[in-house]
Amino acid sequence: YENLRAVDYPAIAAVTSLHDTRVHYVEPAKWVAKLRAMRTNAAPLLLHVNMEAGHGGKSGRYEHLHEVAREYAFVLAIFQGLPFGGAAP
């Protein structure tokens, strides 16, 4: 949060959890807000707040796969040049 500069940043998908006992969800939210205000380009900058997980993410047999799928979808959308939100042009 303290080392941000007014430069071009790559596409970023920041992830936090509402029930994280080590990193309160407002810390990543403040970082994303400051980064959005300071950056000099329009690369996608997303913040996902997991409303049901703690510090290690969701637990359960398939919950981790949902998180991985969201990460893959973000990366694929960036490489395919899709607009913000992942919808086809």
User: Is position 5 within any domain?
Assistant: no
User: What pLDDT sits at residue 89?
Assistant: 45
Residues 21-34: b if buried by 16+ CB within 10 A, e if exposed: eeeebeebeebbee
**Alpha helices (H) along 16-82:** 26-38, 63-79
User: Which token pair is 7?
Assistant: 């430069």
User: Is position 1 within any domain?
Assistant: no
User: Which token pair is 18?
Assistant: 């509402």
Q: What is the mean pLDDT of the chain?
A: 82
Is the per-residue pLDDT at 88 higher than 50? no
Range of the domain at 31: 12-79
User: Is position 7 within any domain?
Assistant: no
User: Is position 6 within any domain?
Assistant: no
How many structural domains does the chain have?
1
User: Is position 48 within any domain?
Assistant: yes
User: pLDDT of 17-55, one tens digit each?
Assistant: 888 778 888 899 999 999 999 999 988 899 988 867 665
